[in-house]
Amino acid sequence: MKTPARYLSLLFLLSTALIGKAQTASEKFNGGKRVVIIMMDGFGMSYFNSAPMPWLKGMVAKNFVKQVDALMPTVTNANNTSICTGTFPEVNGISGNFFLNDKGQEEYMEDKRLVLAPTIFEKLKADGIKSALISSKKKSTTLLCRGTDIVVSPETADTSWINKIGTPASIYSREINYWSMKAGIYLLKNRPDIRCLYIHTTDYPMHTWAPTDSNSIQHLQNIDALLKQINETAPDATILITADHDVNHKSRCIDLQKMLLQQNVKIKLALSPEKDKYVKHHRGFGGAAYVYLNTPADQSTVITALQKIKGVENVLTRKQAASKYHLPPNRIGDLVVLGDSTTVFGDLETQAEEDLPETYRSHGSVYELKVPVIILNAGKMPEVSYFKNNKDLAIWLVDKKYW
């Protein structure tokens, strides 16, 4: 007996509905597009504006670019974590590269347990979406790895990755960034199940060369060629690019603790949140400092003394700094000191201040806040007004109204 046509029609509609319901979150994510998030360390507006990057500049003319603010202090871990979680430091807990922990001990912020907000990788994993983290700096692989399926750094690459990509160059080189980008291209070619790829480069080239230096130009031209390869390898992919900070020449370093002693003012500690293990980048000097008092009663005296120091542009209490810059109060100093455009703070061996060479470049202050947000080949995305900070780059991707 023939099945009536109306039953066939109902069967067809039912099967179509079931197929639609069976579509996985991975297939729906970002309209089925893969996502490549690139945090270009140190790629502030001075570098973006000066860079002869024909492929990228041509693409942004047809897609999306906006100047936004990075987060204070303008150092890698505070910004990278905020980009990776879509939250301010007051939520994710990462106040710099270095801090004074609950035990009163100085500690590098490199442990995933210090991150108090879920990463984009964890949010995607909850929907069965696989992700990978590649970082030129190994510190990011231990800080931001929660929820990832693959974690790679050229600093810790094993034999299998060396066989795939080649022997990595030194962390103090521009070539290490090419290795990281090539590792991303390898995953795009060979692991289509990885739907979200996060690449973090190093800013060693920016610490070493000004935007218009021929070496900087060559570095960014090579990055441009690798971005083009990413697009050609995965033409379906949405590419999201931002930076953690700009980098500028600084002419003078001040050891705040020693400088205050010259006024007979004592503090417990002055700490540079820029300090990390990559001493050749910036010697641990940065444009902001966390000052810890011996007693709360010293606050007024210390503020007055700090304001007399040449190069100190602003002194904020813990409460003021936490409110203004969305910082976690328990992971910053009693006071937050900000330098002028040419001053950095840090530990000096003997003297209270040091003139820095013309080649010295660093960040950490409000003068390195301006960075680009670049979005290429996106499907549905928020209005332009949504993007105010670099942290807004990618978190909208896990909002299901966009896929």
Question: Could you give all domains of the chain from N- to C-terminal order, each with its CATH number?
Answer: 26-246+369-402 (3.40.720.10), 249-361 (3.30.1360.110)
pLDDT beneath 70, residues of the chain: 1-23, 279-280
pLDDT of the residue at 19: 45
pLDDT of the residue at 110: 96
Alpha-carbon distance of 211 to 283, in angstroms, equals 20
DSSP state of 174: S
Q: Identify the CA nearest to 306 among candidates 292, 319, 326.
A: 292
pLDDT of the residue at 28: 85
Alpha-carbon distance of 316 to 339, in angstroms, equals 12
pLDDT of the residue at 323: 98
Residue 85 burial by Cβ neighbours in a 10 Å radius (0-12, 13-18, 19+): buried
pLDDT of the residue at 159: 97
pLDDT of the residue at 116: 98
Is residue 158 within 8 Å of 199, Cβ to Cβ? no
Is residue 197 within 8 Å of 188, Cβ to Cβ? yes
pLDDT of the residue at 322: 98
Q: pTM for the whole thing? A: 0.92
pLDDT of the residue at 400: 87
Angle at 211 between CA 63 and CA 140, to 5 degrees: 75
Which two tokens mark 166? 């080649």
Is residue 22 within 8 Å of 226, Cβ to Cβ? no
Alpha-carbon distance of 46 to 219, in angstroms, equals 15
pLDDT of the residue at 9: 52
